[in-house]
Amino acid sequence: MAFLPALVIRRLVLLASFLFLFISFASSANDATQNDQNSPKLPNCNNDFQLVKVKNWADGVEGETIVGLSARFGSILPADLDKALKLPTVLTNPNNSCTKSSSELSNSLALAVRGECAFTDKALVAQSGGAAGLLVINDSEDLYKMVCSQNDTLKITIPVVMIPKSGGDAIKKSMDAGKKMEILLYSPHRPVVDYSVIFLWLMAVGTIICASLWAEFIVREQHVEPYDQLSEKDASVAGTGKDDSDEEIIDISAKGAVIFVIAASTFLVLLYFFMSSWFIWILIVLFCIGGSQGMCACVVALISRMCKNSGRKSLSLPVLGEVSVLSVVVFPMCVAFAIFWAARRHTSYAWVGQDVLGICLMITVLQTARLPNIKVASVLLCCAFVYDIFWVFISPLFFKESVMIAVARGDNSGGETIPMLLRLPRFFDPWGGYDMIGFGDILFPGLLISFTFRYDRKNKKGVFSGYFLWLMIGYGVGLFLTYLGLYLMDGHGQPALLYLVPCTLGVAVTLGSIRGELSHLWSYGTEEATSSGRSGEA
């Protein structure tokens, strides 16, 4: 039984990956509008918070653009770069701008530090000194929202912007060195829709389609293990074709689905309270292991499909036993790819490697974990539906903030981010950032859609008389509604399963009821599952 260690390792990685992939939500990063309905809006103090680009030059040499946040009060900054004014910058004296400055501020941009008095007082002092605008340096890297008190009725006519401590310190350092500092402020509008959303939609839909069709059209005629090419093959079946029942499959049960959601909730709370860079590194390592394994499985299957005899040559390795030569060649390359991504994960192109590894991992997971019928699918997806809504929308009542969004945002993670999501940069957005979707938003509907594909094939249903096509359409519509909700909610993270579950499970149940097949779908595979001892259970 030399194959047992490899089998156990494979299952542990799969289950761990599933647990981490349950951190699922759809969101967009670095939103330009920072509306906050909780802070008071008063006459002359009712602006929307806007992110501001702070371009700066020291002795004519342009520095790195700083991102600031406009105040609830003051004038509105132009949205176009060519309409913005480049102004000389003067440090107020005293630096807090709480009393009349001894520095000449006329037609200049005043630079002050936070503290000692209200933001409106700082702005009035700078305005009375003739300043054309005010930059406030925060005492941390956060962008604090500058608002008015209930008693403020004074009119401030200059723009007021807060910048993070690091950016302010860099400007002050240049000024202390005697350099002439010039700053330009503007707040470009974000396009209503960036094309990255369309590509992300296609990636999510395409991943589920590929995973559903994979076993039928890619590995159907393979003579190698389709799900983990580095696992050994039983000598008694080496060189013979393997049908679906011989594959290493984990059948998800209703009980397992409930336990899994409870475990995922526990893990999410632990992440929330103990989030740190080393915790994220554990996720990164597991993602690299699962991603390289999935990538190897996909590459070997594709090569074996194109070259029929390439996967038949094998050799014996310690612990793993009998493995194909092709997988021995491909696997180190996949590991090297994952290591390269981990080492370069902060670069502008790292999203490519993350998406490749993620898609391969999800295809492999959807091949290995399966739903036996609609009954189990209903339990899993309904639990996931409640899970997503609770940890995004209801958890602030108990934890003062959304636990799901806080974890996905990577609070207290030392700048590291959770890799369990697909992301695409906003190519046409002046603010940059990424549109993202959690792996769980693809995997959990994908399990149901993959089941309908197998059901349609087994029962010889046509494209339109089956369920696969209609659930894929439902998934596409649900994902569209997710991003529509993201836009209407001003960029706040959305529980994607709130939209995806009704558009997939709801469609399956409705169609089954109309066609009179719901009872068959509900208990489908029960007899086969009882009589078969080859499948695992999660």
Q: What tokens appear for 407 in the block?
A: 């974890």
The pLDDT tens digits for 99-127 are 887 778 888 888 888 888 888 888 888 88
Do 183 and 199 share a domain, yes or no? Answer: no
- Give catalytic status of residue 429 as yes or no: no
Rounded Cα–Cα distance for residues 81 and 70 (Å):
16
The strand pairing partners of 523, in sequence order, are none
Range of the domain at 353: 195-220+251-526
Structural contact between residues 324 and 229, judged by C-beta atoms closer than 8 angstroms: yes
Structural contact between residues 75 and 187, judged by C-beta atoms closer than 8 angstroms: no
The pLDDT tens digits for 394-411 are 988 888 888 887 777 666
Q: From the candidates 228, 388, 429, 456, give the one annotated as an active-site residue.
A: 388
Do 283 and 423 share a domain, yes or no? Answer: yes
Residue 443, number of CB atoms within 10 A of its CB: 24
Structural contact between residues 250 and 488, judged by C-beta atoms closer than 8 angstroms: no
- The overall average pLDDT reported for the chain is 80
Structural contact between residues 58 and 172, judged by C-beta atoms closer than 8 angstroms: no
Do 373 and 451 share a domain, yes or no? Answer: yes
Query: What would the DSSP string read from start to end of 194-214?
Result: -HHHHHHHHHHHHHHHHHHHH
**Phi and psi, residue 168, nearest 5°:** -65, -40
Per the confidence metrics, is the pTM higher than 0.75? yes
The strand pairing partners of 50, in sequence order, are 33
Share above pLDDT 70 across residues of the chain, in percent, rounded to a whole number:
80
| Per-residue pLDDT at 240 | 37
**Bridging pattern class, strands 61-62 and 133-137:** unpaired
- In the three-class reduction of DSSP (H, G, I as helix; E, B as strand; rest coil), residue 458 is classed as helix
Q: From the candidates 228, 251, 441, 456, give the one annotated as an active-site residue.
A: 441
Structural contact between residues 378 and 229, judged by C-beta atoms closer than 8 angstroms: no
Rounded Cα–Cα distance for residues 118 and 91 (Å):
18
- Give catalytic status of residue 441 as yes or no: yes
Rounded Cα–Cα distance for residues 99 and 394 (Å):
45
Whether 533 maps to a domain, the answer reads no
The pLDDT tens digits for 279-313 are 788 888 888 988 998 899 899 888 888 877 766 67
CATH number for position 128: 3.50.30.30
Number of compact structural domains in the chain: 2
| Per-residue pLDDT at 531 | 43
Q: Report, as an integer, the average pLDDT of 446-462.
A: 94
Do 181 and 262 share a domain, yes or no? Answer: no
Whether 447 maps to a domain, the answer reads yes
Max avg pLDDT among 31-35, 144-148, 388-392, 467-471: 467-471
Whether 26 maps to a domain, the answer reads no
Structural contact between residues 84 and 110, judged by C-beta atoms closer than 8 angstroms: no
Q: What tokens appear for 356 in the block?
A: 């490749």
Do 343 and 439 share a domain, yes or no? Answer: yes
